[in-house]
Amino acid sequence: MREVAVAGVGLTKFDLYDGEKGHPLKESYDLGAEAIISALEYAEMDMTDIQAAFCGSCYQGVGSGHQALSEVRITGLPIVNVENACSSSLSAFRLAYQSVAAGLYDICLAVGLEKMPRGFIMSTAWREWERYMGFNVQPAAYALETVRYIEEYGATLEQCALVTVKNRRNAVFNPYARFQSKVTVEEVLNSRMIAKPLRLLNCCPLADGGAAAVLCSKDKLKSKNKMVTVAASVLTSEPYGIARGGGSVKVKNPNRTEIGARQAYEISGYGPEDMDVAQVYDTMSPCEIWNTEDLGFCKKGEAGHLLEEGVFDINGRIPINTDGGLLARGHPLGATGLAQLVEIFLQLREEAGPRQVPGASIGLCHALGAGPNCAISILKR
């Protein structure tokens, strides 16, 4: 397997693009195209350099990657549309990575895009009984997991609120985030109840967006200055064959995140203690707590306390969700995983501006999706 570099990345602002209430009107392919153009410019490459493309999306219907690529005249090449729920574009990234690593292609494009459905969003619950029992919207299932996690590990709702507070604070410095304003613990705890005990500000906001990355073999890289390479890119699924795989419940250990993390650390030769920065899946604020533990950044039941101590702040021991995470950047399902990767890339290139983690040289991103699956990639400089 060859070493694979990330040559360039692109991102749109995550926002509502429905043309209503002052928001601009853009289609999912516009968002994808915008991200692709940025990534190509960053990589100093042309559309004709791309040899294969992998595009993650969930709700865009047929041919979403082809649409975005056609928009920027990247045509005639192999294009694979990947639907892996919230890890769609990180799964697409992995296919692009594997293709270059295996020598199938020298330069590949990974894209993520999503214009989220408005109004009622059917969750990714897929068994009839799940829907009948009320798991037809995401917070319902996460609420149960949260209750169980709190019962088992003694976390508090204040700690869960602190996740939102931290991520919103980080996003103040991220012009691509949907929300660039701080919130307080009190505001989280007093926001509208969605599914007990989860409140509005425990949930990631609706957003549309696009993200892209150009991957290439070392010799195709235009500049090797601060070269970022892929140390590992893994994909797992929950070993229990059920729709909902809680990250916290003992009976289910090891879960998909633990298995994926183990694989990623083994392949990369790094451990959790080597990570300078991480993007951890935070679709609901408590998820960041248990996912942080499952990724091995601390022991089970510890993350809430460490959060209070600032360990996961930008100037902490292991900064998490430096760009605001799903909770502040927003969560256009198909674009989320690559947006996480873009942040890690920028951090390792020391281009993250006011939210830069000093000297970051190894970073991890982690996306969970229904399936249930788990995608983890580790980048290094």
Q: How far apart are alpha carbons 210 and 200 in whole angstroms? A: 24
- Which one, 122 or 133, has the nearer CB to a copy of itself? 122
**108 contributes a contact to a copy of itself by CB under 8 A:** no
Q: Interface with a copy of itself by CB under 8 A: which range of 274-282, 318-326, 354-362, 369-377?
A: 369-377
How many Cα atoms sit within 13 Å of 64 on the Cβ side? 27
- Which one, 62 or 251, has the nearer CB to a copy of itself? 62
**372 contributes a contact to a copy of itself by CB under 8 A:** yes
The answer to whether 86 is a known catalytic residue is yes
Query: In 83-200, at which residue ranges do the beta strands (DSSP E only) sit?
Result: 107-114, 193-195, 198-199
Site string for a copy of itself, 249-278 (x = CB under 8 A): -------x--x-------------------
**376 contributes a contact to a copy of itself by CB under 8 A:** no
How many Cα atoms sit within 13 Å of 202 on the Cβ side? 27
Q: How far is the CB of 380 from a copy of itself (least distance, A)?
A: 21
- Which one, 47 or 185, has the nearer CB to a copy of itself? 47
- Which one, 12 or 81, has the nearer CB to a copy of itself? 81
> Which residues, 20 to 79, sit near a copy of itself by CB under 8 A?
29, 58, 61-67, 69-71, 73, 75-79
**12 contributes a contact to a copy of itself by CB under 8 A:** no
For Cα atoms 68, 70, 76, give the angle at the middle one, nearest 5 degrees: 125
Q: Interface with a copy of itself by CB under 8 A: which range of 36-44, 118-126, 172-180, 211-219?
A: 118-126
Among 9, 82, 338, 379, binds a copy of itself (CB under 8 A): 82
Q: How far apart are alpha carbons 379 and 107 in whole angstroms? A: 17
**234 contributes a contact to a copy of itself by CB under 8 A:** yes
Residue linked to tokens 């649409």: 67
Please list the alpha-helical segments (H only) found in 245-302.
256-268, 285-294
Site string for a copy of itself, 86-105 (x = CB under 8 A): -----x---x--xx--xxx-
Residue 103 class from Cβ within 10 Å (0-12 exposed, 13-18 middle, 19+ buried)? exposed
Q: How far is the CB of 111 from a copy of itself (least distance, A)?
A: 13
Q: How far apart are alpha carbons 342 and 213 in whole angstroms? A: 8
- Which one, 76 or 358, has the nearer CB to a copy of itself? 76
| End-to-end Cα, the chain, rounded Å | 18
Cis peptide before 139 (omega within 30 of 0): no
How many Cα atoms sit within 13 Å of 9 on the Cβ side? 27
- Over its C-alpha atoms, the chain yields an Rg (Å, rounded) of 19
Query: In 60-197, at which residue ranges do the beta strands (DSSP E only) sit?
Result: 79-82, 107-114, 193-195
Among 202, 236, 248, 322, binds a copy of itself (CB under 8 A): 236
Catalytic residue set? 86, 331
User: Interface residues with a copy of itself (CB under 8 A)?
Assistant: 29, 58, 61-67, 69-71, 73, 75-85, 91, 95, 98-99, 102-104, 122, 124, 126, 234-243, 256, 259, 369-373
